[in-house]
Amino acid sequence: MKNNPYACGDGGCVLLVPGVPVGMHTNAGCRCIPLKMSANERHRLRKGIRWLAERLSKTESLLDEVHTIVLDHLSASYGDWLSRMDEQDDSIN
């Protein structure tokens, strides 16, 4: 998984993808949230963005699991189909 190309690059950036290596942890802090907002507003926005990022990460994990289950099912179905074709070939000969 890649990091967000729109992140400012700071190690504490609110737009970073959870679990992906981050940039430098400087004292400058994240520059993605305007300083015109109050500290409480910025904190609430950060929490909201991180909550959304975590939800997206969990959704991607679930999709990976579903993808694996579907592929396993398709592989088994294809194997069953091949077995039936072999049985039909044997009965014809």
30-61 pLDDT, tens digit per residue, is 777 777 778 788 788 878 888 888 888 888 88
DSSP letter (8 states) at residue 26: -
pLDDT at 21: 63
The pLDDT tens digits for 67-93 are 888 888 888 777 777 777 777 776 665
pLDDT at 3: 65
Q: Provide the 3-class DSSP secondary structure of residue 16.
A: coil
Looking at the predicted structure, is the pLDDT value of residue 22 above 70? no
Q: Provide the 3-class DSSP secondary structure of residue 12.
A: coil
Q: Give the DSSP letter string of 34-50.
A: -TTS-HHHHHHHHHHHH
Q: Taking a C-beta distance cutoff of 8 angstroms, is the pair 10, 29 a contact?
A: yes
pLDDT at 23: 62
